Structure 1
Amino acid sequence: MNKPLAEFIGTFTLVLFGCGSAVIAGGDIGLYGISFAFGLALIGMAYGIGHISGCHINPAVSLGAVAAGRMTISEAIVYIVSQIAGAIAAAAVLLMIASGKADYTVAANGLGQNGWGAGYLGEYSMGAAFVFELVATFLFVTVILGSTGAGAPVGFAGLAIGLTLVVIHLVGINVTGVSVNPARSIGPALFAGGAAIGQLWLFILAPILGALISGFLFRTGMLDIKN
């Protein structure tokens, strides 16, 4: 149970501190602070649980690893269940904390849920949201598979992956709030309800497609240093 537990804790940490930075401290730290909160949470978990489970903490990453031939689908399913459970638990804890402020409501203040369209951050279109999530996840998973593969510098994967997540957030927060991680989207959406649930499909489908494309390129040797 150590690997599923590590994935649960890692995803819990990412969602609690990443989404929490937006919900609790967003007005103080802004887009830059939120971006670094997500990236630093990932860096911390990469070095904290990476040696246990690989620190996927993201269903798209696990499916990308399956596509790359580095993980079986049965192993990925166990990871994904743990990741989604960790995200839901983190969203529940974040809601309890945020609700301790008298003027907080999920309807008015949100829970760090992803979205697009009228009334959501930069009000980008569904098409723009889909393209961003697919391409950003493809690049994110490419960094993950490349920095953890044979021939990559030892000990720097966590830093490279975390900083990539920072850059992705710097560019994409106003587009979708940045998912690149179906579990990260599922947790807050379940409690936010409404549009967050209705739009959740995009934040499941686009990241998975992006991850599968990256994994396929590694599996076929197109991005494999050995070939």
Structure 2
Amino acid sequence: MGNVKKWSAEFLGTFWLTLGGCGSAVLAAAFPGLGIGLLGVSLAFGLTVVTGAYAFGPISGGHFNPAVSVGLVIGKRFPAAELPGYIIAQVLGAIAAAAVLYLIASGKPGFAGAGGFASNGYGANSPGGYSMAAVFVCELVMTAIFLLVILGATARNAAPGFGGLAIGLCLTLIHLVSIPVSNTSVNPARSTGPALFAQTGALGDLWLFWVAPIAGAIVGAAIYNVLLAEEVTSVSKSVPPAGVSPAQ
């Protein structure tokens, strides 16, 4: 399968994750009388992964997240040579989604700027005022767990066809726990798009939401390799659908 198709699938999947998840936070979380709140935003992020995994996973593997791509390389599920193209496509997809979301949000009468714009942060930019150290640990641990679930749910002996559902539900739970701490990233691309439009200094905090999720993905994949992986593991010549099918 051509790289352009894979990159396109990753672009579209990350676009959908960012637009659907961040869009629910910006447009619907606090809507008067009908706001979906923390629970609704958490579910929205999970649903974007479930729907994106089944729609685009058969083409690209359904990563939609630079940290996941790195973790799958460490987990021997994805060739390292394809990593740069995936990360570029994911970041561009998230930026495009944030731009579309900004155009929508700015169409409301009385629009006075993007504000936080579902961006991630620590200290003054954390929803609960959590410290940089607390946010770093939260993002690292949550991403490590995310990778453990991804690798386990897509292993050869996992129930076929249910990987995307398990991964989406995991992301929902991650958001339920960590939105008050960091507004939940576990995804450097998702953090990058909104940070470009936020008015809260989110760009200054962005480094953490690249370093911590990628470190967490490496930790999670390493734990899986040592304690849980099947005896024979190898990088597939074609990208395994990480969100949909068992590892090839």
TM range (shorter): over 0.9
Structure 2 unmatched runs, 5+: 233-248
Kindly provide the amino acid, as one letter, of the partner of residue 17 in structure 1.
G
1:48-63 correspondence to structure 2 within 5 Å: 48-63=55-70
Query: Normalization by structure 1: what TM-score?
Result: 0.95
Give the conservation status (yes or no) of the 8 Å contact 2:113–2:199. no
Cα-Cα RMSD? 1.4
Greater shift in the superposed pair: 69-78 or 81-90? 69-78
Alpha-carbon separation, structure 2, partners of 1:23 and 1:4 = 27
- Match for residue 156 of structure 1? 162
- Match for residue 45 of structure 2? 38
Alpha-carbon displacement from aligned partner over 1:20-79 (angstroms, at most 9, x marks no partner):
000000111000000000001110001111111110000000000111122222201111
Is 1:7 aligned with 2:10? yes
Kindly provide the amino acid, as one letter, of the partner of residue 146 in structure 1.
G
Structure 1 moving runs of 4+ over 4 Å: none
Alpha-carbon separation, structure 2, partners of 1:131 and 1:153 = 31
Q: C-alpha displacement at 1:193, in angstroms? A: 5.2
- Match for residue 144 of structure 1? 150
Query: Normalization by structure 2: what TM-score?
Result: 0.87
Alpha-carbon separation, structure 2, partners of 1:215 and 1:225 = 13
Alpha-carbon separation, structure 2, partners of 1:192 and 1:209 = 25
- Match for residue 95 of structure 1? 102
Q: C-alpha displacement at 1:194, in angstroms? A: 5.0
Greater shift in the superposed pair: 96-105 or 174-183? 96-105
Structure 1 unmatched runs, 5+: none
Give the conservation status (yes or no) of the 8 Å contact 1:138–1:213. yes
Is 1:165 aligned with 2:165? no
Q: C-alpha displacement at 1:104, in angstroms? A: 2.6
Give the conservation status (yes or no) of the 8 Å contact 1:68–1:217. no
Alpha-carbon separation, structure 1, partners of 2:187 and 2:134 = 17
Alignment partner of 1:200 out of 206, 209, 232: 206
Q: Percent identity?
A: 54
